[in-house]
Structure 1
Amino acid sequence: MSTKVFVNLPTTDLERSKAFYTGLGCDISPEFTDENAACIVWSEDIYFMILKRDFFATFTDKPIADPNESVQVSVSFSQDSREAVDAIVAKGLAAGGTEPKPAQDYGFMYSRDLDDPDGNSLGFLYMSEEAVEEGPEAYMAEQGAAS
């Protein structure tokens, strides 16, 4: 059995969150969705559990942070190209998300951040195959030598 990843995120509006994540192209697993939570399917191994804040609080004794005020975690997803990064962020913006800062282009890596309507942070990035294989410093050194 392969490892499955479940990321739990709080929401103040479950229906709005479901609309946002389906707007990104995700599916919802009805078997694990009810009036308190929605299971967002990113892939066969990655799921987001979007939980109403009061329900989320039943799983911990710690306070639940307001993602509009502080960041607990940022989840990033690799994409196949810069264009794919731009396309998914455009979908997220159209679905009610916000882009908290401009795109970042490091030469070997291109990334953009997207906050969902509750303020939970998502990242989308493209890294060149050469940088993945060689490491960013070696890739950048080669690029400098080729210029």
Structure 2
Amino acid sequence: MAKMLFVNLPCSNLTAAIEFYQALGFSQNMQFSDNTAACMVWSEHIFVMLLTHAKWQSFTQRPIPDSGSSEVMLALSCDNKAAVDQVCAAADKAGGTADINAKQDLGFMYGRSVLDLDGHIWEFFWMDPAAVAG
């Protein structure tokens, strides 16, 4: 079985969070979604589980950070620079905040960051495959 990544995120409004992530290009897997959680698919191996606060607290008693703090910055690759720009524009239009950190354009790598509706930071980036190959 291929290794997969499931990122679990607490969200204050599940419906709004689903709509936000769909605007960014995620699809929803209804098999693993209900009124307390939504499985959002980025690729065949990368999933984001959006969890209501009550559902989140059934997994851990650690406090949910407020939207002014950060615990983690998640990065997802895109096919090209235009795709990075498209997803960031979609995030901004869907109620998130694009470019909360400075854009990075290193020639071989291009990245931008967005803040989702609950203050989670996402980095979307493109890296030249030739540069990765060495």
The question of a shared fold, defined as TM-score above 0.5 by the shorter chain, is answered with yes
Report the CA distance between 1:44 and its aligned residue: 1.4
Could you tell me how far apart the structure 2 residues matched to 1:31 and 1:88 are?
25
Higher Cα Rg, which structure: 1
Superposed CA offset, 1:28-65 (max 9, x none): 11111111111101111111100011220110132221
- Residues 1-147 of structure 1: pairs in structure 2 closer than 5 A: 1-66=1-66, 68-99=67-98, 100-134=100-134
Identity among equivalent positions (%) equals 41
Aligned Cα RMSD in Å? 1.2
Specify the code of the residue in structure 1 equivalent to 2:131.
A
| TM-score normalised according to structure 1 size | 0.85
Gaps of 5+ in 1: 135-147
TM-score of the aligned structures, taking structure 2 as reference length: 0.92
- Residue 129 of structure 1 deviates from its aligned partner by 2.1
Of Structure 1 and Structure 2, the greater helix share is in: 1
The aligned amino acid for 2:129 is E
Where does structure 1 differ by over 6 angstroms across 4 or more consecutive aligned residues? none
Choose between structure 1 and 2: higher strand proportion. 2
1:106 positional shift: 1.9
One-letter amino acid matched to 2:6: F
Paired position in structure 2 for 1:145: none
Would you say how many aligned residue pairs link Structure 1 and Structure 2?
A: 133
